[in-house]
Amino acid sequence: MELYNSLENINNRDDFVKFVDALRKDLEQNTNEWENLSLNDYLEAISAWTSCMESAYKNNDEVFPKNPDWKMFGRILYIAKLYE
């Protein structure tokens, strides 16, 4: 949950880099919480989520950003650890 909450702290490139480092550590320490352990599966999840994420934003009554930002990139990477 701490990793998920840290998504809100991504406001620039440096924050994104810190998040990616935390995501990597999460993989090492909490492998059992990851659905996509191989690079192939992880990249497939990134692709699948990115292709349908606009609908997910709408379903949650959120505005889909016209221009992606560092926070969105972080969300994509985080969700790909869980997305099937």
> Is residue 1 over pLDDT 90?
no
35-82: pLDDT as tens digits: 999 999 999 999 999 999 999 999 999 999 999 999 999 999 999 999
- Cα–Cα distance between 73 and 77 in angstroms, integer? 6
- Counting Cα atoms < 13 Å in the Cβ hemisphere of 3 gives 20
Helix (H, G, I), strand (E, B) or coil at 74: helix
What's the whole-model pTM score?
0.90
